[in-house]
Structure 1
Amino acid sequence: MSVENVLSLIKEKNIEWVDFRFTDIGGISHHISVPAVEVDADTFVNGVAFDGSSIHGFKGIEESDMVMIPDTETIYEDAFTAHPTLIVYCNIYTPGGDRYDRDPRSIAERAEEYLQTTGIGTAAYFAPESEFFIFDNVQFENSMNKSSFEVDSEEAVWNTGRKEEGGNLGFKIGVKGGYFPVAPVDTQQDIRSEMCRLMMEAGLRIERHHHEVATAGQGEINFRFDTLTKTADNLMKYKYIIQNVARQYGKVATFMPKPLFGDNGSGMHVHQSIFNGDSPLFYEKGAYANLSEMAIHYVGGILHHAPALIAITNPSTNSFKRLVPGYEAPVNLVFAKGNRSAAVRIPIAAVTPKGCRIEFRTPDSTANPYLAFAAMLMAGLDGIKNKIDPRALGYGPFDKNIYELSDEEKAGIRSVPGTLDEALDALEADHEFLLQGEVFSQDFIDNYINLKRADAKAVAIRIHPYEYELYFNL
């Protein structure tokens, strides 16, 4: 959309505010709202100034001036404001006009530009399956003498005996019993449908929605694939709309990977492929799962670099509460067709040549999508460039249910890192593939590792309530 068209839209829709947004390193959105009457063509050229020192992981106070430059292709109307507001996503620049190398959205765009310089293809397509929980209540507290959390849901298995005014209406969802029963068991049909309606108004193409496996209100909405940066933009819209619709219904939505003990967590399976113009490059009829050698090498790059990659695709300490055996978690670094116990699954049901893709199942939605998609692409491209063959390295194909194998049979299968610190160690040792084409900078990698190490340390030094059960009476 041209600047002129944006300005015309502001008048046509009687827009009162233009909301300029960007995403920080941790994946949190920030915004500045400007009166629409103050927005003109120069605004889209000169941008909106802000204090970078107040953004975690950005700039020091001595060099804090930064500029948001809006991307007019990202504009959509905010469904949650009383005053008509237009949202636009921005890239971050220095006052001198250079892209800021710690800006996640700029990193995503550089990854797409790098793909084109390699001559491998013209576009990479991504489609995340981002799961979430919708709770009725959340409470948590951390202090010197107290540490606790509690969530609740009308659907939850622990509420079968709860008495409320009017009585308990039953139809609770058991552990691992949520994959997709109809109402009245599924109480969230209308909430998800409203989320989808607003996503479609915001420009997303919705494919389906449904309840997910876990008890207590786990859901999933699938939207159609797009190019790397556009898909990351769409995922930021997705999360914003889900959390705000939940709030309108008096509920709360979370993308936390493992908010409940003893049931499935929330992942973000990421489908991905490369095209050259209109031609799909991952398809070869008659080959294993109809995958081309290019696709096999892309998988090889993902699996070879997976320990380091997971520091970006699963960047929270809570991520590793999900990445444990027994809860359909993709902890095994192998690939296979149609096999959900593998870290990389090749979908084979109703797949056309253009729909041929690989699915990396390990990530979760605590990942910053701009960084995660860019890092996955860079790992896959490294696999293509260096012809990394996952078959020769023992990464499959593995067409058995890995969860049911004996320890002896699983001995040769590499697993994901067990903690965030282990993943960060791997990223520290293996990140040269991210530096290619100056997509990620060394400064960004060093800064990112320091930020995430601080998270890991903050959790590690705190006393866990379960330690009282284990040790208090010794």
Structure 2
Amino acid sequence: MNFGIPNTHMDKLVLQRYLDLKQTTDKVQCEYLWIDGTGEAVRTKCKTLDFDPKSPSELPVWNYDGSSTFQAEGSNSDMYITPRAIFRDPFRGGKNKLVMCDVFKYNKQPAETNKRHSCNEVMEKAKDHHPWFGIEQEYTLLDASDDHPLGWPKHGFPGPQGPYYCGVGANRVYGRDIAEAHYKACLYAGVKIAGCNAEVMPAQWEFQIGPCEGIEAGDHLWVARYILHRVAEDFGVVVTLDPKPVEGDWNGAGAHTNYSTENMRGKNGIKHIEEAIEKLSNQHSKHIEAYDPRKGADNKRRLTGRHETSSIFDFSAGVANRGASVRIPRQVAEDGYGYLEDRRPSSNCDPYCVTELLVRTTVIGSDK
């Protein structure tokens, strides 16, 4: 742990004295979460309510200064946040809540980085198809003092990849405390976290969100990301979602997205899976553009055809092939039904963009 980081200088036992104070029965703290103008970072602020909200519709619309979040000019800076999903707050406990929000501009139009709005419209159109998603979020832990991967030698590299994936031992796994704390906090919050594991590159981890239906996939992943950053903050460690945090012979980081419709999950579903893959192949460039915040520039560093990736320039598909754009799991091929895995989304993707485009391309029949 790096004790040069301000948060790690603070005595957490002192903090706990205040967190353990009995909460008044008529007040609830609601932490509003939204996505800022980068399309990658979560911003938050807290509001006290005099009732315990059970639905997002009960919560008031709020506002914030968009000129400080890369979303507005100072002369017209008010942005509006509309509550959309409620989770339990694992940091304050009690009746307190985390609130995932949409962002709207002064004219009540969706902010440019509000991808949830159009995603929700698409999911409503496709709701009879019951689209399910499972997203594998990879991330890397960094020493906050120098942005060096946590536990790596300061003037060199750890041993080659091989012993780290799902590894055990102090010489193979770096940062397990953060992954474990994050997992438990997500379960407490009500986030649909399905599991976690150490990844191929040392100091790299993964957690899985799902199965989620429709819009909730994006909601749950964004809240899980917030919780991850917040947990790491307490440890004085930085989380990066950079798709290629270390250049060279090291794995990058993705957000592999498992996807199915009711037809894919039913009898002879493999036929519908193959039809979906054909549609995806015809829209490869559109998906690449949408699968990272910089319209493919980040993924270009990762999707090289090496380190368990496909080439960014070519679409490919195969059974049990982790070097393909889209993988059909071996068990799915044997069963004849199930789901597909889109391996192209980058670790810093907006899950609203990814899930929306998968449904647009394979169900609605339009990428516009």
With normalisation by structure 1, the TM-score equals 0.62
CA drift at 1:206: 3.4
Match of 2:88 among 52, 77, 86: 77
CA drift at 1:351: 8.3
Equivalent position SS for 1:56 = coil
Change (3 A) 1:101 1:243: closer
Q: How many Å separate the matches in 1 of 2:155 and 2:278? A: 43
Is 1:194 the equivalent of 2:184? no
Match of 1:153 among 128, 150, 154: 150
Task: Structure 1: state its 5+ residue gaps.
Answer: 1-10, 140-149, 161-171, 386-432, 436-474
Is 1:31 the equivalent of 2:13? no
Q: How many Å separate the matches in 1 of 2:49 and 2:144? A: 37
**Higher-RCO chain (CA-CA 8 Å, sequence separation at least 6):** 2
Which residue in 2 is equivalent to 1:274? 261
1:147-174 Cα offsets, whole Å, 9 max, x none, are xxx51432559657xxxxxxxxxxx553
With normalisation by structure 2, the TM-score equals 0.79
CA drift at 1:61: 6.1
Letter in 2 for 1:312: A
Letter in 2 for 1:153: L
After superposing the two structures, state which structure 1 stretch, 322-331 or 350-359, moved more: 350-359
CA drift at 1:69: 2.2
Equivalent position SS for 2:301 = helix
Alignment map for 1:135-214 (pairs within 5 Å): 135-139=142-146, 151-155=148-152, 173-184=159-170, 185-214=172-201
Which residue in 2 is equivalent to 1:237? 223
Match of 1:349 among 331, 337, 346: 331
After superposing the two structures, state which structure 1 stretch, 361-370 or 173-182, moved more: 173-182
Is 1:17 the equivalent of 2:29? yes
Is 1:100 the equivalent of 2:110? yes
Letter in 1 for 2:122: A
Letter in 2 for 1:178: Y
Change (3 A) 1:108 1:156: farther
Equivalent position SS for 1:191 = helix
1:164-208 Cα offsets, whole Å, 9 max, x none, are xxxxxxxx5533542122113224333322211111011124332
Q: How many Å separate the matches in 2 of 1:182 and 1:39? A: 42
Q: How many Å separate the matches in 1 of 2:56 and 2:155? A: 57
* 8 A Cα contact 2:88 2:190, kept in partner: no
Identity of aligned residues (%): 20
Equivalent position SS for 1:236 = helix
Change (3 A) 1:92 1:228: same
Q: How many Å separate the matches in 1 of 2:335 and 2:61? A: 42
Q: How many Å separate the matches in 2 of 1:84 and 1:366? A: 31
Change (3 A) 1:39 1:226: closer
Change (3 A) 1:334 1:51: same
* 8 A Cα contact 1:126 1:231, kept in partner: yes
Which residue in 1 is equivalent to 2:6? none
Which residue in 2 is equivalent to 1:225? 211
* 8 A Cα contact 1:137 1:152, kept in partner: no
Which residue in 1 is equivalent to 2:63? 49
Change (3 A) 1:159 1:61: closer
1:287-320 Cα offsets, whole Å, 9 max, x none, are xxx612x322222222211112111112333332
Change (3 A) 1:298 1:61: farther
Equivalent position SS for 2:166 = coil
Q: How many Å separate the matches in 1 of 2:87 and 2:253? A: 27
Which residue in 2 is equivalent to 1:252? 238
Highest CA radius of gyration, 1 or 2? 1
Equivalent position SS for 1:342 = coil
1:331-369 Cα offsets, whole Å, 9 max, x none, are 241111111111000113378979711110011122112
Which residue in 2 is equivalent to 1:109? 120
Equivalent position SS for 2:223 = helix
Letter in 1 for 2:83: P
Match of 1:315 among 290, 293, 316: 293
Equivalent position SS for 1:194 = helix
Equivalent position SS for 1:291 = helix
Letter in 2 for 1:334: S
Letter in 2 for 1:296: E
User: Between Structure 1 and Structure 2, how many residues are aligned?
Assistant: 337
Is 1:340 the equivalent of 2:322? yes
Letter in 1 for 2:264: L
* 8 A Cα contact 1:177 1:214, kept in partner: no
Which residue in 2 is equivalent to 1:329? 309
CA drift at 1:84: 7.7
Which residue in 1 is equivalent to 2:19? none
Letter in 2 for 1:434: D
Q: How many Å separate the matches in 2 of 1:354 and 1:56? A: 48
Match of 2:97 among 75, 82, 86: 86
* 8 A Cα contact 1:18 1:35, kept in partner: yes
Equivalent position SS for 1:244 = helix
Q: How many Å separate the matches in 2 of 1:246 and 1:301? A: 40
* 8 A Cα contact 2:134 2:211, kept in partner: yes
* 8 A Cα contact 2:90 2:186, kept in partner: no
Alignment map for 1:263-412 (pairs within 5 Å): 263-275=250-262, 280-285=263-268, 291-292=270-271, 294-316=272-294, 317-331=297-311, 332-349=314-331, 356-381=338-363, 385=365
Equivalent position SS for 2:330 = coil
CA drift at 1:325: 2.6
Q: How many Å separate the matches in 1 of 2:221 and 2:96? A: 20
* CA RMSD in angstroms, aligned pairs only: 3.4
Letter in 2 for 1:238: A
* 8 A Cα contact 1:283 1:353, kept in partner: no
CA drift at 1:226: 0.3
After superposing the two structures, state which structure 1 stretch, 314-323 or 195-204, moved more: 314-323
Change (3 A) 1:14 1:329: farther
